[in-house]
Amino acid sequence: MDISLLLKMAADAEPDRVALTCDGRHWTYGELWNAATGAAAAIADSGATHVALLDTGSEAAPIALFGAALAGVPYCPLNYRLADADLGALTARIAPAYIVGDTARVAKLAADAGHTALDRAAFVAAAEAAADPEREANEGAEDNGGIAVQLFTSGTTAAPKAAILAHANLVSYILGTVEFGAADADEAALVSVPPYHIAGIAALLSSIYAMRRIVLLPAFSPEDWIALCTSEACTNAFVVPTMLSRVVETLDAEAAAGLSRLRAIAYGGGRMPTELIARALDLFPDTGFTNAYGLTETSSTVALLGPQEHRDAQVSADPAVKARLGSVGKPLPTIELEIRNEDGRVCAAGTPGEIYVRGDQVSGQYRERSALDADGWFPTRDAGYLDAEGYLFLSGRADDVIVRGGENISPGEIEDVLVAHPGISDVAAVGVPSAEWGEVVAVAIACTPDAPDDDAIRALVRERLRSSRVPERIVRVDALPYNEMGKLLRREVRLLFERPA
């Protein structure tokens, strides 16, 4: 099984239907397929072992993704925001690569590494010129271990790991979650996540297999997102929480009316504040919201909270149902999911532990090693628990759990209490070293002018939680550090406390 089949099926079914809109140009399924076959020939001629994308989202992303698949080499989109030294180290690990995008940067970083570098326009022109419309999708994908995609993790603690996704993982994910050609002719999905993120790759594969037109927004701003969503009459969108927050802040009544075609908003990739999703549900009363939880190593989504569950939670008087607005929903039917404690035993409902998943879409493989256990389970390093009805709640990265005097404290529980205070606009809780307790709680807060003083903050936590959760150290900042996907950078928050109190 090979991901090239997904595009080939769409191109066979309706070659003249528009697949992708980018910078005002439309690409049909037939045009994308033909370009992918040409790209495959160009990639094969170059002798490259990897195909890299060093560019914002454009038609070049799907052409390179499927072209790499047809050529039998991994597709490896790179984070163009990385500093030169970091990016240079990554390109060295995939040499010799066929690199599409910023040729000047390739020349500067790795002129002698044997890479073939083409800018976007040259790549697309070469791909179209070499098109082989009679070509079939690949059958076996055994060459190169059947790797479709290689993504470098963000490397918070060490050098970035090269997560690999096999064709079989991605095809299983798509066949298990998307019905072929299910999209109506008017459906269009606004894609604003970067191409080097798993959500960016999943967006291409899912929309192409559903035959839902992709509308690419290469660089996110709330104004551009609203304008493109309106002008292209988008019906679907995927956003990370920070994007939704900025759209909600920017939206006025006139702009909201322009988004009336938006039937579905899916979100994921970071912690969604309950206040924000509640506000979004009010602002978009006719839109279905889906919360997706997944990781690079799991080929994207493994659990989701659907539109009806959002609306039920929004209006319910039952605290357990209401709480589900903060849940990531239930595992996909094709996924097994368990919460395990430190001894490896499965936890009872309501008891937090580490989330383990298993299924055909789960890779859990890195270039360097496999993270799967003997029975094929992948430890996500995310902490969480299941409620009595099987809804999954996340409580942060397992590595982020604060261990104070042997007691495990989830940063999320402290953050939830504090962020509800009107004087606090954002908060992060981290563990900092303590001679007495091993670790103690420290919080960094971004304040509004009505910020509570330190005593009031401690009193609030003591009152709502318990004394072990009371922050020992408190710093005030203008804004907390986030990466471009809206993920809080806790390691940078910890640095705020390295100076002695």
Partner 1 sequence: MKAGSKLKSAVDDTEVMVIKAPAGGTVSCGGAPMGDDKPAKKAEIDPAHADGTKMGKRYTDAAGTIELLCIKPGKGSLALDGVALLLKDAKPLPSSD
Q: What backbone torsions phi and psi does residue 431 show, to the nearest 5 degrees? A: -95, 135
Nearest distance from C-beta of residue 274 to partner 1, angstroms = 19
Interatomic CA distance for residues 242 and 269, integer angstroms: 10
Query: Hey, which bits of 448-488 come out as E strands?
Result: 473-477
User: Sheet harboring 392-397: ordered strands across?
Assistant: 336-340, 353-358, 378-386, 392-397
Is residue 69 within the footprint of partner 1 (CB under 8 A)?
no
Task: Please say whether the dihedral angle defined by the alpha carbons of residues 135, 140, 141 and 142, taken in this order, is positive or negative.
Answer: negative
* Interface segment toward partner 1; rule CB under 8 A; list 77-85, 154-162, 196-204, 493-501: 196-204
Are the beta carbons of 447 and 425 closer than 8 angstroms?
yes
Q: Which of 44, 89, 175, 321 binds partner 1 (CB under 8 A)?
A: 175
Nearer to partner 1, 99 or 188 (CB): 188
Closer residue to partner 1 (CB): 138 or 242: 138
Q: C-beta of 19: minimal distance to partner 1 in Å?
A: 15
Which C-beta is closer to partner 1: that of 13 or that of 320? 13
Sequence-separated (6 or more) residues with CB below 8 Å from residue 280: 244, 248, 265, 289
Least spacing, CB of residue 186 vs partner 1, in Å: 15
Nearest residue (CB) to partner 1, 8 versus 324: 8
Orientation angle between helical segments 411-419 and 454-464, nearest 10 degrees = 120
Which one of 13, 92, 129, 349 is in contact with partner 1 (CB under 8 A)?
13
SS3 assignment, position 212 = coil
Examine residue 280 and tell whether it contacts partner 1 (CB under 8 A): no
Do residues 155 and 163 lie in contact, with contact meaning Cβ atoms separated by under 8 Å?
no
User: What is the C-alpha to C-alpha distance for residues 359 and 377, in angstroms, rounded to an integer?
Assistant: 8
SS3 238: strand
Q: Tokens 């790499």 appear where?
A: 68
Which one of the spans 139-147, 399-407, 434-442, 466-474 is the region binding partner 1 (CB under 8 A)?
139-147
Minimum CB separation of residue 299 from partner 1 in Å reads 11
Q: Which is nearer to partner 1, 202 or 441 (CB)?
A: 202
Distance CA(389)–CA(392), nearest Å, equals 9
Is 127 or 266 the residue whose CB approaches partner 1 more closely? 266
Q: How far is the CB of 294 from partner 1 (least distance, A)?
A: 8
What is the distance between the alpha carbons of residues 41 and 134, in angstroms, rounded to a whole number?
Answer: 13
Binding of residue 332 to partner 1 (CB under 8 A): yes
Residue 307 is a binding residue for partner 1 (CB under 8 A): yes
Between the alpha carbon of residue 238 and those of residues 10, 234, 279, the distances in Å are: 22, 11, 17
Asked if 288 interacts with partner 1 (CB under 8 A), we say yes
- Which position among 266, 280, 386, 440 is part of the footprint of partner 1 (CB under 8 A)? 266
How many chain residues touch partner 1 (CB under 8 A)? 44
Q: Which of 222, 193, 201, 155 is nearest to 56 (CA)?
A: 193
| Footprint on this chain of partner 1 (rule: CB under 8 A) | 1-2, 5, 8-9, 12-13, 137, 139-141, 168, 175, 177-182, 189, 199, 202-203, 205-207, 210, 212, 236, 238, 264, 266, 268, 288, 290, 292, 294, 300-301, 304, 306-307, 332-333
